[in-house]
Each structure stands twice: as structure tokens, then as C-alpha cells.
Amino acid sequence: MGTLILAVIALLLYSIGTALQALNFRGRIGATVTGTTVIGMLALTAHGLLIFRTGHVSGGFDFGFFQSSLIISWLIVFLLLGLNLRNPVQILFLFIYPLAGLTVVASLITQAPGPVVSGESYGTLSHIALSITAYSLLTLAAVQAILFHFQNRQLKHNYNSLLIRNLPPLQTMESLLFELVWAGVVLLTLAIITGAVFVEDLFAQHLAHKTVFSLLSLGVFIALLVGRHTRGWRGATASRWTLAGCLLLMLAFYGSKFVLELVFSYSNRG
């Protein structure tokens, strides 16, 4: 099946999923967990095949800016579908499905080549896999933190909005947020360790700034978890710290990739 066909199928399914969740949000229909899972898995299948078609190159795998974004969005949808089976969080799909669709479109309209990692570089591949999974979990945590912030704010003002009616109880939202942060911290720690062990010539590859921002992000998330345990941080404080950590992580990953692969590459071609 061709790349364009796979992309169109994935976009169509993500669009259908977004429309159904929008109707569910407004109370027009009742989207079930089973229906959401079926549409999501079909979209993931097309999305996954697209990743294989565009990312598998001669000699290894492409982990460039847009290809990595395509993988991360696939993993975020996959993780969210798993979370939705345990604690229905249908509203998150309203943000995640369009995000996944944008990465699919970007992968089609861009031709920027990315770094290729050999299929035999198991240490480097393990570092990349851990990094991408950590980024995916913590990106999902950022979306969760934004919703949690607005939910907490509106409940304090006794608002009975559509947002409040469509979200799980505040305690459930908070527990889910910290579960995502905990899992992300563990994987980010492992990613940093494997990067230090397996990535050669860190400074020669202009990756020092990525490491610094990753460590700063890890420090913010650890401070959040310690603050929750020792000082009972929650609500707006937890949301702000989560978003700060995610911003640093975005600078580490997307910032470095954007500059090295797109800005420098464009300058060299000029």
C-alpha cells in the first residue's frame, strides 16, 4: 500500500475520531470506549504502516525531525487508548487526534532528510526508543496538566461547564497526571543514562545542549514529585511544574532537532 494512501486513511480515521469526540463533548452522541478503541486502533494501524514506509531506509532507520514527530504522535495515541480503557478520558482525543493528523501531513509535505541510525546499533536504538517513549508520556502529561488546571480553576468558581461535565473527577485527573509524570521520569532517566553510555562524541555531534535541557527537565519533574510527597503540591502548582518540565523537554528534543536538521541544513544548502 502506497505512502499517500496510508496517510489519507490515517487522516480520515483521525478526522472521524475527532468529529465523534467533538459530538460526544457537546452531548450529541455517547461515544463508547469500545468504539473509540476500534477507530483508534484502525488509525494506529495505518499510521504505523506509514511510519515503516517513510522511516525504513537503506542501512537503518530515519529519526529526523518530522519522522520522529510521526513516531511520537503514534505512541501518544497508543498510550492514550490504553489509558482510556482504565479511566475514560475521551476529551483528550480532541487534542491528540488533530496533533497526530498534523504529523501525518508534515511527513508528506516535507522532504528534509534526517539522521539514519543503523539497525545494528542496538545501544543507540535503545536510547532513542526510551527517549521517544519518555517524550510521548510527558507530552501526554502536559495535555493532562492543562485540562487539570482548567478543571481545578472552574470547580473553584462553581462553573458547570461542558469541560467539567466531560472530565473524570478531579482526584482521578490528578492521579493520572502524576502516574504519567512518574512513568516519564523513569524512562527519561534511563534514556539519559543510555545516551551517556552509547552515544559517542556527544560534544562533536552538537548534542550537549540537548543533554543540558534534558537534565534540567528531569530536575523539574523530580522536584515536582518530591514537592508532592513532602509539601503536598497539587492543583495549579502541579500543573505549572509539569508544563515547565515539558517545555524544557521540548527545547531539548524539538529545539535541537529543528536547529541541527532544518536551520543548519538550510544554511549549508544556501
Chain mean pLDDT for the chain: 84
When comparing pLDDT for 163 and 214, which is higher? 214
| Residue located via cell numbers 492521579 | 175
Cα(187)–Cα(143) distance, rounded to whole angstroms? 19
On the 0-12 / 13-18 / 19+ scale of CB atoms within 10 A, 102 is: middle
What are the pLDDT digits (tens) for 6-44?
999 999 999 999 999 999 888 788 778 888 899 999 999
What are the pLDDT digits (tens) for 192-221?
898 888 776 555 555 677 888 899 999 999
pLDDT at 243: 95
Strand 56-57: give its sheet, edge to edge.
56-57, 60-62, 116-117
Contact 145, 177 (CB under 8 A): yes
Cα(208)–Cα(211) distance, rounded to whole angstroms? 5
Cα(50)–Cα(6) distance, rounded to whole angstroms? 6
Q: What average pLDDT score do residues 68-84 get?
A: 92
Check whether 146 has a pLDDT greater than 80.
Answer: yes
What are the pLDDT digits (tens) for 250-261?
888 776 666 555
pLDDT at 234: 87
